[in-house]
Amino acid sequence: MNTSTDVFFLPAGDEQRLCLFHAPAPASAERPRGRVLYLHPFAEEMNKSRRMAALACRALADAGFAVLQMDLRGCGDSSADFGDASWADWQADVRLGLDWLDTRAPGVPQWLWGLRAGCLLASADWGRPLNYLFWQPMTNGKLALQQFLRLKLAAEMASGASKGLMEQMKAELAAGRPVEIAGYRLGAPLALGLEAAKLAPAGAAGRVEWLELSTREDAVLTPVSEQAIKAWQDAGWSVRVQIVQGPGFWATSEIELAPALIARSVEALA
């Protein structure tokens, strides 16, 4: 690899966001093939995915892309606690990252690359032409929130304390109070913003590279994915779908990799 990585804190008002900028290979330094902002998944899935994200960032940089990773507010080494973050904060971070990339690689195609719930955050009208790289996209924020809340249900099930717990947690969030789940304090502004999010087309139509993983050779898209893809196509977006062999690395007990997903992503963008 001939690329370099710059680790820095990007000012965000009175706070800061940890960023890693993967500069494009020297041959593309003056005119990158594109600029890419990576949006990580939710909570512990972010930590499980760090290795895969880092490898993919370097591969894209080797291919001539300028790539920015950012820990969103309350995540990783960025300012604030997870429980203090809101969905609006994360949307502001996306704009911050896009604006920063404007200064480093102006005039080239811009991509938002999301993993899992990061795709929900990515899909909005950002007031500029954008393309999307979706890794295992979640199409509905309500389902994403339910899956996260179920982690507490699973932890309480053995003691028999899970009865009515889902309704209790939802009531707490609806009342504006945080809940503790799997070591994370989830605040109402983040939970309710996630719950309302949908993977829906917005803004000027561009390209979507939709990649899903499966360990089965005969895997097919779920009806939910097919319905979401059709909505993007009906809105004029060019959507290319690939199912790639590999493990669900964001949820495995040990850190796992899906090299084919990285290779297909580089090919898709290049």
The mean per-residue pLDDT over the stretch 90-100 comes to 98
Q: What is the mean pLDDT of the chain?
A: 94
Tell me what pLDDT residue 152 has.
Answer: 85
Residue 126: which of 212, 220, 201, 16 has the closest Cα? 201
Chain segment 61-75, per-residue pLDDT in tens: 999 999 999 999 999
Predicted confidence (pLDDT) per residue in 158-216, tens digit: 666 667 888 999 999 999 999 999 999 999 999 999 999 999 999 999 999 999 999 99
The percentage of the chain sitting over the pLDDT mark of 70, rounded to a whole number, equals 97
Which residue in this structure is represented by tokens 């993967």?
22
pLDDT band at 144 (very low <50, low <70, confident <90, very high): very high
Question: For 128, phi and psi rounded to 5 degrees?
Answer: -160, 160
Enter the tokens of residue 131: 């393309």
Structural domains of the chain sorted by starting position, each given as residue range(s) with its CATH number in brackets = 5-139+198-269 (3.40.50.1820), 141-197 (no CATH)
Angle, CA 100 vertex, CA 33 and CA 17 arms, to 5°? 125
- The phi-psi region of residue 193 (left if phi > 0; otherwise alpha if psi is between -120 and 50; otherwise beta) is alpha
Is pLDDT above 60 for 1?
A: no
CB atoms within 10 A of CB 166: 14
Pairing between β-strand 65-70 and β-strand 15-22 as defined by DSSP bridges: antiparallel
- 26 pLDDT tier (thresholds 50, 70, 90): confident
- List the beta bridge partners of residue 6: 21
Report pLDDT digits (tens) over 245-268: 999 999 998 999 999 999 999 999
Q: What is the 3-state secondary structure (H, E, C) of the chain?
A: CCCCEEEEEEEECCEEEEEEEECCCHHHCCCCCEEEEEECCCCHHHHHHHHHHHHHHHHHHHCCEEEEEECCCCCCCCCCCHHHCCHHHHHHHHHHHHHHHHHHCCCCCEEEEEECHHHHHHCCCCCCCCEEEEECCCCEHHHHHHHHHHHHHHHHHCCCCCCCHHHHHHHHHHCCCCEEECCEEECHHHHHHHHHCECCCCCCCCEEEEEEEECCCCCCCCHHHHHHHHHHHHCCCEEEEEEEECCCCCCCCCCCCCHHHHHHHHHHHC
- Say what the pLDDT of residue 25 is: 87
Residue range 133-157: average pLDDT?
A: 91
Q: For residue 125, give the amino acid letter.
A: D
Tokens 């990783």 belong to residue: 76
Q: Are 10 and 96 in contact (CB under 8 A)?
A: yes
